[in-house]
Amino acid sequence: MSLAIVDRLKTIRDQSDTVLRQAIELIGAGASPILLEAMSHSLFAPGKRLRPILTVFAAEACGGDIENALTAGCAVEMIHTYSLIHDDLPAMDDDDLRRGLPTCHVKYGEPLAILAGDALLTGAFQVLAEGYPPRTAAVSCVELARGAGAAGMVDGQVRDLAAEGRVGGLDMPRTLAELEGIHLRKTGALFRSCVRLGAFSALTERDSGRLAEVLPILDEYARAFGLAFQVTDDLLDVEGNAEHTGKRTGKDADRGKMTFPGLVGVAESRRRARELHEQAIAAVRPLGDAARALIDLARLVTDRDR
């Protein structure tokens, strides 16, 4: 990975944190200090800020700029953080470590952790609604609701739990197609929202025709990118360690969770990650040099160690 992309990622992470602090001030005006503390504990734990970065790179591939895209990217990061808080709860994955820190419910108790997640979820839509002109705000709120909602991330979580036998009434065969279906929803739906929100921030107000052209390209990129990310995540759970990943490893096998290495083996999972990486790159080649950062990001995702 070049020094240029490393510097760029750091710049966007730093700018994302600034925008997220402004967002907390916006949605937290008048809120209880302990609620804001619990929200901030999870939101500002050391993280990759992958979702704001992806949103920015998609916007730039469409001729947009970082300042306008970061509002949307940070709204997605708030949704992502709420999902982590809830996913870590004892009723879900029962994790005690996230991003190298105690999970929200471990530090603040389950009731406050649930409410901190709720506040981040609802606040994300306030950030979009107040951060963009009405037309862009409307399409962005609809997109984020779809990506995070009953047919997107939430349904992916339901299917993931059903595959573990923890949700009744839903038959989940242990097949590669079903596993990919889980992660196209659980992880991939928000990645799709990232690239679409980036495109909306760049084009909704100025070029709706171009927007219609780029969305299928970005959708295909997000599909391959999201699956590559998840395959790599599953490999890290098998081969990584908590010091590098910032969370407990080996837990998926302990719970009987359906994973790519568990289903097709480590070697095939590595091959599949490389294949998906190439698919992501091929998807955005029609965008030319403007998509260089998206290509570099796809490579980073499959080469990462955390």
Give tens-digit pLDDT for 55-83: 999 999 999 999 999 999 999 999 999 99
Whole-number average pLDDT of the chain:
93
> Are 104 and 116 spatial neighbours (Cβ–Cβ below 8 Å)?
yes
As a whole number of angstroms, the distance between CA 104 and CA 94 comes to 11
Output the pLDDT for position 303: 82
At 255, is the pLDDT very low, low, confident or very high (cuts 50, 70, 90)?
low
User: In 10 A of CB 296, how many CB atoms?
Assistant: 18
Number of domains in the chain: 1
Find the CATH number of the domain harbouring 187: 1.10.600.10
Residues 6+ apart with CB under 8 A from 10: none
DSSP string, the chain: --HHHHHHHHHHHHHHHHHHHHHHHHHTTT--HHHHHHHHHHHTSS---HHHHHHHHHHHHTT--HHHHHHHHHHHHHHHHHHHHHHTSTTTT--SEETTEE-HHHHH-HHHHHHHHHHHHHHHHHHHHHHS-HHHHHHHHHHHHHHHSTTTHHHHHHHHHHHTT-STT------HHHHHHHHHHHTHHHHHHHHHHHHHHHHTTT-HHHHHHHHHHHHHHHHHHHHHHHHHHHHHHHH--HHHHSS-SSHHHHHT---HHHHH-HHHHHHHHHHHHHHHHHHHGGGGGGGHHHHHHHHHHHH---
Give tens-digit pLDDT for 274-293: 999 999 999 999 999 999 99
Phi then psi for 98, rounded to 5 degrees?
A: -145, 125
Residues 6+ apart with CB under 8 A from 279: 220, 224
Output the pLDDT for position 248: 55
Percent of the chain with pLDDT strictly greater than 90: 83
As a whole number of angstroms, the distance between CA 55 and CA 289 comes to 17
Domain that holds residue 236: 3-303
How buried is 131 (Cβ within 10 angstroms: 0-12 exposed, 13-18 middle, 19+ buried)? Answer: buried
Give tens-digit pLDDT for 159-169: 999 988 888 88
As a whole number of angstroms, the distance between CA 186 and CA 20 comes to 23
